[in-house]
Chains A and B, each alone.
Chain A
Amino acid sequence: MKDIFDIIVIGSGPAGISTSLTAYELGLNVLVIDEQSQVGGQIYKSIAENLDGNKGFLGKDYLKGKHLYERFISSGIEHWSETSVWQITENKEVCFKRNGLTGIIKSKFIVICGGAYERAMPITGWTLPGVMSVGAAQTLLKSFSVGADNCVFVGCGPLLYLTVYQYLKAGFKVKAVLDTSRLKQLYFSIPYFFPALINFNLLWQGLRWIKYISKHTKVYKRVKNLSILGKEKAQGIEITLSNEESLKIDTQNIFLHQGIIPNTNLTMATGIKHHWSQFQYCWHPTLSLTGESSINGIYVAGDNGAIGGVNASLTSGRIVALDIGKKLKKTTSFSKLFVWLQFLKDKSLQPFLDILFQLDTKFLVPNNNNEIVCRCENVNKSEIENSIKLGISGLNQLKSYCRAGMGNCQGRLCGLTVQTIIALRQNKNLDEVGYFRLRPPTKPITIKELSSLEEYSMDKKQNIL
């Protein structure tokens, strides 16, 4: 198979855009593949439609994406939207699907910029219609200016505070914010506070959001227990506060959030080595300093590598592109020095946030035995525990005992919970327990789609695209 492109970039969020722009400027032949209809990823979602700036409530940082978007569009980089990648081979072949057809294309280098998604929060009642993730609320707001009044936000982390702030600014009524962050984490995070001060502007911005939120809605801090009420749909939420006082809040829209994790399904299915990060409580692809994975020529950039935020994603994309440029003899080492300094600055805030909002496993493992852990296959906590009692060797055997992780989402929502339950019951470390063995296709494809698989070439372009 011939290399048609120098680099194929998968994903067009901040990391994907910055990788492709840098590579393009170095004179490389770049293709960007993205699942969504527009560039921008989750963070700059629908930026193309919000260019007129009438969505001021989304904030200045969101509108920064406008500049990036315009640079990308005017560059004329080859961009395939609404195209999903479902397999990457070790020979650097990318299998994709688009419009009910599938294709395969080879490249010299592949950069995976799959971004991140929200860690599940399986508290009692989380499967009831009306309960969504905070990211879902933000997506609706960014894309369509859609939001819900009298809603309740639950959890902790920067994305939660930002979304509540945007909701309030947009004029939606937020009934309450139930903050699950813990006081002791504030002490643990002190050593990380000083390096974080380099990004003083971002810290200040976060404080401003929190101040605005507490002024405009009711915030319950240090929430200890949570349980969503309702039979067929969410009707309210019952909480226990740190002083053992409990109360009920009526609401039909509940948004949950406890941090974001790298989207490692594609990187794992590709066969890249991963390691457990206790700091961020998730799996990370094992990468070299320049972002290259354990497979030669396959790179990972942005939050897909480790959670670092939008600025770190932009810089990591540049680092990856410069490294590839060097391998193709198109760059000098001088240009890299500045980027490295920028990268150190961009990365210095994250450890503080990681510790301050570190995951409380209490909200990752349901306390109710009948609560569903695997949403796709309807597997509850006690079924998982019963399988563990039968003596399983790990997540993959558990999968064949009770089907947890075998549904459409391929463990994206239950993986960490199942892993944590096994670690607790078998008294093992989380990295020892391991994770599901993920295999392609990483996105569901039909037999019909698969049977259309065709090698991509310039003359056959019209057939596939």
Chain B
Amino acid sequence: MFRKLKDSRKKEIVFFFEGKKLTAFDGETIASALLRSGEIFFRESKINNYRGPYCMIGICFECLLDVDEMQSVQSCQVTVKNNMQVKRHKVSNFSL
């Protein structure tokens, strides 16, 4: 499991993943905050088959999540904001 070394960044931000309350550091991306909390299932690729972040630089699209009103957000590229509602990106979530 991922953990953070002590550094100057201390301010904590609260956000929610699938309704669960989690914390992130100021400036941290959603993907990093989730990995530190032990969450590794991000995007649903088929029913009941999950993927997690792979490249962390925005090329692989495996870390897709639904963030607030936005679907298919690259969570390795977006920083956590206060009270953000984050959900797994599910195949069945597609609404046209």
| A contact residues vs B (CB 8 Å cutoff) | 35, 37, 42, 49, 52, 54-55, 117-118, 127, 129-133, 135-136, 139-140, 143-149, 170-171, 232-233, 252-253, 263, 375-376, 378, 407-409, 412-413, 444
Is chain A's interface secondary structure helix, strand, loop, or mixed overall?
loop
Q: List 16 A-B contacts (CB under 8 A).
A: A37-B79, A54-B7, A55-B7, A117-B57, A129-B50, A131-B52, A133-B54, A136-B54, A144-B32, A147-B3, A149-B3, A253-B1, A409-B60, A412-B60, A413-B60, A444-B72
Q: Is the CB of B8 within 8 A of A129?
A: no
| B contact residues vs A (CB 8 Å cutoff) | 1-9, 25, 27-29, 32, 35-36, 40-42, 45-46, 49-62, 64, 72, 77, 79
Alpha-carbon separation in the docked complex, A409 to B72 (Å): 13
Given contacts A139-B57, A409-B59, whether A145 and B4 have CB atoms under 8 Å apart is: yes
Closest to A45 in B: B57
Indicate the member of A35, A129, A412 with the most B CB atoms within 10 Å: A129
Q: Is the CB of B59 within 8 A of A129?
A: no
Q: Is the CB of A130 within 8 A of B4?
A: no
Closest to A148 in B: B2
Q: Is the CB of A132 within 8 A of B32?
A: no
Q: Is the CB of B52 within 8 A of A130?
A: yes
Given contacts A375-B60, A409-B61, whether A132 and B50 have CB atoms under 8 Å apart is: no
Alpha-carbon separation in the docked complex, A412 to B60 (Å): 7
Residues of the A chain whose Cβ atoms lie less than 8 Å from the Cβ of B64: 408
Residues of the B chain whose Cβ atoms lie less than 8 Å from the Cβ of A375: 45, 51, 54, 60, 62
A140 interface neighbour in B7, B32, B46, Cβ under 8 Å = B32
Given contacts A54-B8, A408-B64, 6 further A-B contacts (CB under 8 A): A49-B9, A136-B54, A146-B36, A378-B46, A409-B61, A412-B59
Alpha-carbon separation in the docked complex, A412 to B3 (Å): 29
Least Cβ–Cβ distance between A372 and chain B, in angstroms: 9
Q: Is the CB of A52 within 8 A of B8?
A: yes
Residues of the A chain whose Cβ atoms lie less than 8 Å from the Cβ of B56: 132-133, 135-136, 139-140
Given contacts A129-B51, A148-B2, whether A136 and B57 have CB atoms under 8 Å apart is: yes
Given contacts A140-B32, A375-B51, whether A146 and B58 have CB atoms under 8 Å apart is: no
Alpha-carbon separation in the docked complex, A147 to B79 (Å): 18
Q: Is the CB of B7 within 8 A of A118?
A: no
Least Cβ–Cβ distance between A160 and chain B, in angstroms: 15
**Closest A-B pairs by Cβ, 9 of them:** A129-B52, A136-B56, A408-B61, A145-B5, A129-B40, A139-B56, A148-B2, A145-B7, A412-B59
